[in-house]
Amino acid sequence: MRSLVEIDLVAVAANTRRLCELAGEAEVWAVVKADAYGHGAVEVGRAAAAAGAARLCVATLDEAGTLRAALPDVPLIVLSPLAPGEEELIATIGCAVTVATAEGWTALRERPEIDVHIKVDTGMGRWGLAPDEAVAIGNEIASGPRPERLAGLMSHLATADDDPDGFVDQQLAVFRAVAARFPPCPRHLANSAALLRRPDLLFDAVRPGIALFGVDPMGRAATDHGLAPVMRWTSSVRSLRTLPPGASTGYGRRFVADQECRVALVPVGYADGYPRVLSGAADVLIRGVRCRVVANVSMDQLAVLVPDGLTVVGGDEVVLLGSSGDEHVTAEELAQLAGVIPWEILCGVRSASDRGLRLARG
């Protein structure tokens, strides 16, 4: 086995309970799209629902079908618009869907058995109806043969995790104005960042995603919010080499030894989701000590400089993401070094035939 990804379902449950506390009277609808950001949608969804998440949110009907087969009693919401023809499949899955375009509503208008959430564009500029369109469709449903199919009014925040210009307040004003004209139903707007920092955005339900996995969307310490990391990714020292002065390791001779040193070879690379841009910048943990990734990250291998005085032997655990002793490598840290967002780090840890997966249930 080249690497092992451990998913702490006890942490998922604890994070869910903490998010429920922060949400107050609002329900928590856990977002588990993209296979729960690479953590495993079925297991994470089951743990979150058992810990208090009232609903699970996914991006596609395929994702909803996978969850429904495993979790027959958990309410599901598909957040992205359906592809043409998919409305024929909804009844077999049993989930609510999102109406974000006039065409989407046309396809669902004559299907009163399907519950819908009306999405209004308040400034994200992607999917979403204009305010007047959203209100008109909401009123049409409320006066139709099955008004209870109107399951929610929603929108999506563009800058909740980084809002130097106060754009969140502009979106909030639009959403409140639409909500004031809209028929009674649950209102939901807040994502993870809004839930953690803007209690005025909670409304009737919140849709946390990244926070569920113990990651701060602002790139700070999630522990400050009482959240614990869920994913731990490890490999092992496959080989040790001693380099004399002037010798190099890896493509491009990025690392050239200026004195005799030891380098540990680790069988993980960018094919496994460890970003090449972390070459020469990121640390891994061996025996609780930070060790720098020095050479260019290869497709299936890292070269790690062993600090003077650290005893390392073949087979030693190498922590790529997670904790060892008192040291921690977080998704937020790797994202900052890579110039990306933590979502990309977590989703990038790819499955492979020689990668293991361990679920910690407590």
| Active site members | 33, 251
The answer to whether 135 touches 166, Cβ cutoff 8 Å, is no
- Tell me the one-letter amino acid at 102: A
Would you state the torsion angle of the CA atoms of residues 15, 53, 188, 197, taken in this order, to the nearest 10 degrees? -10
Q: Side-chain half-sphere of 43: how many Cα atoms within 13 Å?
A: 18
Give the C-alpha separation, 54 to 63, whole Å: 18
Question: 284: part of which helix (H) or strand (E)?
Answer: strand 283-286
**Structure tokens of 67?**
């969850």
**Structure tokens of 129?**
């109806």
**Structure tokens of 260?**
């005799």
Sheet strand arrangement including 261-266: 239-243, 261-266, 302-306
Give the C-alpha separation, 152 to 204, whole Å: 9
Backbone angles phi, psi at 263, to 5 degrees: -125, 130
242 - beta bridge partners?
262
Q: Which of 244, 210, 225 is nearest to 331 (CA)?
A: 210
Q: Distance between alpha carbon 299 and the CA centroid of its chain, in Å?
A: 24
Q: Which of 17, 80, 24 is nearest to 205 (CA)?
A: 24
Sign of the dihedral defined by the CA atoms of residues 21, 25, 27, 30, in that order = negative
